[in-house]
Structure 1
Amino acid sequence: MTAIKQFSSRTVVLRERNIDTDQIIPARFLTTTERNGLGRFAFNDWRYLPDGSPNLEFAFNRSENKDAAILVAGRNFGCGSSREHAPWALADLGLRAVISSQIADIFRSNALKNGLLPIVLDESIVNELLDQPGIELSIDVAARSVTLPDGRRFEFPLDTFAQTCLLQGVDQLGYLLKQQFAITRFENSRLTAHPRQEFHHAR
């Protein structure tokens, strides 16, 4: 995972509500456990026409949205079935954050485990962002805040452990492995203070 501390990017907008994980990446593309390359399947059924050609009306196919790393979406983003492939696909597509007024809990958890920042803001703010596609936002993970071009700053909820993992660029397992020295030291100190005793069960 790549550490996320502070970054700025233009937004790409999907106004639709209730964008579910099958729309993010259709089930027929879940046959791999490889994360790299999944971006080409993200929003597949919206990005491509039945003949396989790009749908030029779809936001991610527009030239002005190239390299945009922040998705602003309608309410209840990421609902539906649980699949880590959804945040994998979005991250491989180049996104670093998703902003909505409501993000499904399971998708949010999967996103945080995979270095994709889910940001929930008040619906009035999100509606404003939906009406202004392509504006540049600045995101500060340490401050848990989003800053608009006019200087307004809005805080978003982010639990401390998830924040730490994002700032360090590690997942949950990676975080635990980084604590190996402290864990070993703690275990040794307990063993010294409380030597193990042999217990004999009564027959």
Structure 2
Amino acid sequence: MDKFTTLTGVAAPMPTVNIDTDMIIPKQYLKTIKRTGLGKGLFSEMRYREDGSDNPDFVLNKPAYRNAKVIIAGDNFGCGSSREHAPWALLDFGIRCVISTSFADIFYNNCFKNGVLPITVTPEQLAALFDDAERGANATLTIDLEKQTITGPDGGSIGFEIDPFRKHCMLNGLDDIGLTKVKAEKIDAYEGKLAEERPWV
């Protein structure tokens, strides 16, 4: 998993509430177990017309937001069924951070395990971030995970809270496998000791 330290990028506004995982990545894309290639399916029912062409009204198809790295979203983002493909699709598209007032628990946890930073803010802070995001190509935010700040295009900054352990994992690029590898020496030592004491095991 890639480390998340500081991210600077365009923020796309998606004020719709209750954006569920089926909207993020529709069920027809769930056949794969690969984490790559899912960006093309991200929000596909909103991004594409029936003939497969881009829907020019969808925010991520607008020129200013095609390379967005952050989504400013309405309440309860990531609700619905549990599917790890949702953060995979966001990440494959290039989204590294989603900011909202609330997230569905399973989606929230899956984000941290896959290198997408979900940030919870107050309704007042979200309203200010939506104002920033409406600036199109000038809607650039900087997220500093170490300092736990979000800095807007005018230099104004707001703080956010995050669990210290999750922060540590994101800063160091540690998913569940990475956390196990950190303890490789202790595991090897235990296995060696076990082999000496109980060679029949």
Q: With the length of structure 2 as denominator, give the TM-score of the two structures.
A: 0.88
* Alpha-carbon distance, 1:183 to partner: 4.7
Q: 1:99 maps to what in 2?
A: 99
The whole-number CA distance in structure 2 between the counterparts of 1:169 and 1:137 is 21
Q: 1:27 maps to what in 2?
A: 27
Q: 1:118 maps to what in 2?
A: 118
Q: 1:177 maps to what in 2?
A: 181
Q: 1:161 maps to what in 2?
A: 165
C-alpha offsets along residues 83-119 of structure 1, whole Å, 9 cap, x if unaligned?
0000000000100100001111110000100000000
Question: What amino acid is the match of 2:110?
Answer: N
Gaps of 5+ in 1: 198-203
Gaps of 5+ in 2: none
| 8 Å Cα contact 1:47-1:61 kept in structure 2 | yes
The whole-number CA distance in structure 1 between the counterparts of 2:52 and 2:151 is 38
The percentage of aligned residue pairs carrying the same residue is 41
Is the radius of gyration larger for structure 1 or structure 2? 1
| 8 Å Cα contact 1:8-1:136 kept in structure 2 | yes
Q: 2:147 maps to what in 1?
A: 143
* Alpha-carbon distance, 1:155 to partner: 2.1
| 8 Å Cα contact 1:21-1:78 kept in structure 2 | yes
Question: What amino acid is the match of 1:33?
Answer: I
* Alpha-carbon distance, 1:181 to partner: 1.6
- Measured on the aligned residues, the alpha-carbon RMSD in Å equals 2.1
Q: 1:6 maps to what in 2?
A: 6
The whole-number CA distance in structure 2 between the counterparts of 1:10 and 1:30 is 28
| 8 Å Cα contact 1:100-1:119 kept in structure 2 | yes
Comparing both structures, which one devotes a greater share of its residues to helix?
2
* Alpha-carbon distance, 1:157 to partner: 2.2
The whole-number CA distance in structure 2 between the counterparts of 1:45 and 1:128 is 28
Question: What amino acid is the match of 1:119?
Answer: I
The whole-number CA distance in structure 1 between the counterparts of 2:157 and 2:70 is 16
* Alpha-carbon distance, 1:39 to partner: 0.4
The whole-number CA distance in structure 1 between the counterparts of 2:35 and 2:117 is 17
Which sits farther off after the overlay, 1-10 or 40-49? 1-10
Q: How many residues align?
A: 193
Q: With the length of structure 1 as denominator, give the TM-score of the two structures.
A: 0.87
